[in-house]
Homo-oligomer: A and B are copies of this chain.
């Protein structure tokens, strides 16, 4: 019987240096630069690269026993040096090797630029992610999620966890994964739509951060088959503009979070954060009109082509200096059955997308809350209300006016970093041909 005591120390941060002159660090040897009479050892710690100076006169260790990617524990003296990355060098006194690699990496990760194809990167992801720029992408992903969540919590939203194994798809269509559930047919959730609406009836405002599954059969640079959805849903709205305003405030908070707590990754990846003052909104038909005026041939009056999203974004950037634009009032026929139609012109839904730097990153809108209206809309769309009995309970027994949205985390991150392919913004992407790592 023994009480449990910890000897593990918190990961290194330069903010914690204070006035100490000695420092003990854990880390992986990122690079050794042998300068003849001494050597630089770059130590990769949880978040920082730390430049250590190894002088055989002062440190009781044999340089020849040290290899890249060994995990070591070091102690030394802090020597302030403004040229060094964290404002100091560590002059080593002790080195303990904790673990050594079995082999050296086929692809060196300590180069400034990796210079490998996306295919090679993804095949070797388990160690490629150890590159300091590769991993910085996912610290920023953490920052976006933190900014989103903190804003939601501060605005009275309750965090929920809804099941991903479901009886039926919420978004319709064929792009849904099927599953054998103890002999029954089941699916992987295409969105938490039914559940977040249900929980709006319980908590008024809810949000969820969870995986979303789309069995899209096309291989593009902007689709993933499993991604993280940032979803929220809110009651007591006057109209969909309340939802759009909430998203605007949230995005502003996300950028502030990144600026405040992720400055080192922003600098490392040379990220140009968007300024969000206000986000302009165009109706679907206004946007199509602008495209037409600019001399484009409009083929599709139900949705946007990728190059149209880009052109609308560029127009808005030039005219309003905004990197975001809302598109509202999409054609009702292309929006899901839970979207509320515009009473003024029911051919259009009170539904919107958000484009960021030419890419759709959000779909949202006001939802139907009235039972009779929802049953009618299902029937109009050729759906059988009897199949949605438990979902319709919420309308039947009273729902407040409400709306919400879903954001694709990886798409938001991808545009923030101006990446070419959404797979770069996912730790272990799932696509048509990729199930591993």
Contacts and interface: CB of A to CB of B under 8 A. Distances in A.
- Using C-beta atoms within 8 Å of the partner chain, give the interface range for chain A: 35 or more
A163 interface: yes
Interface in A1-54: 1-11, 13, 26, 28, 45-47
Contacts of A395: 102
Nearest to A123: B390
A69 B400 CA distance: 9
Contacts of A146: 153, 159
A228 B210 CA distance: 11
A321 to B, nearest CB: 13
Copies per complex of this chain:
2
A242 B6 contact: yes
Interface in A226-267: 226, 228, 234-238, 241-242, 244-246, 248-249
A198 B127 CA distance: 8
A385 to B, nearest CB: 12
Contacts of A435: 165-167, 181, 184, 186
Given A201-B126, A278-B3, A428-B195, A99 B397 contact: no
Interface string A183-204: 0101010000011001101111
Contacts of A161: 141, 145, 211, 228, 409, 427
A87 to B, nearest CB: 19
Contact of A203 (B7, B135, B165, B213): B135
Contact of A69 (B135, B188, B228, B397): B397
Interface string A61-103: 0000000011101000000000000000000000000111111
A71 B400 contact: yes
A432 B182 contact: yes
Nearest to A180: B178
Contacts of A7: 238, 242
A369 interface: yes
A270 interface: no
16 contacts: A3-B279, A8-B236, A8-B242, A11-B204, A28-B400, A47-B203, A71-B235, A126-B201, A129-B202, A135-B202, A141-B161, A163-B429, A163-B430, A165-B435, A179-B179, A210-B210
Interface of A: 1-11, 13, 26, 28, 45-47, 69-71, 73, 98-105, 124-127, 129-130, 135, 138-139, 141-142, 145-146, 153, 155-156, 158-167, 177-182, 184, 186, 188, 194-195, 198-199, 201-205, 210-211, 213, 215, 217, 225-226, 228, 234-238, 241-242, 244-246, 248-249, 278-282, 286, 326, 369-372, 390-391, 393-401, 409, 427-430, 432-433, 435-437
